[in-house]
Amino acid sequence: MATTILITGASKGIGRACAFALGRQGYTLALNARSLEGLTHLQHDLHQQFGTESMVYPADLATPEGRNRLCLAWNPLPEAAVLNVGNFATGALLDNDQGLLPQLQSNFFAAESIALSLIRTWKSKGIPGKIVFINSIASKEFRAEAPAYSLSKSLLRQWVQALQKEVVPLGIQLCQIHPSATHTASWDGLEVDPAQLLKPEDVAAAVVHVLQAAKGLWHSEWVMRPGNADYF
pLDDT at 46: 98
pLDDT one-digit tens code per residue, 179-205: 987 656 555 555 566 667 889 999 999
Whole-model pTM: value is: 0.91
Name residue 145's amino acid: E
The pLDDT of 206-220, averaged and rounded, is 91
- Domains located in the chain, CATH noted: 4-224 (3.40.50.720)
Among 88-102, 107-121, 174-188, where is mean pLDDT lowest? 174-188
Among 91-100, 119-128, 177-186, 210-219, the range scoring the smallest mean pLDDT is 177-186
Q: Is 73 in contact with 57 (CB distance < 8 Å)?
A: yes
Question: 24-34, pLDDT tens digit by residue?
Answer: 999 999 999 99
Beta pairing partners, 222: 177
| C-alpha to C-alpha distance for 18 and 31, rounded to whole angstroms | 10
Contacts with 90 (C-beta within 8 Å, 6 or more apart), sequence order = 145, 146, 149
Confidence of residue 44 (pLDDT cuts 50, 70, 90): very high
The phi, psi pair for 124, rounded to 5°, reads: -70, -25
- Whole-angstrom CA distances from 7 to 95, 103, 223 are 34, 20, 20
Specify the pLDDT at position 215: 81
Averaged pLDDT for residues 64-82: 95
Q: What is the pLDDT of residue 230?
A: 52
What average pLDDT does the chain have? 90
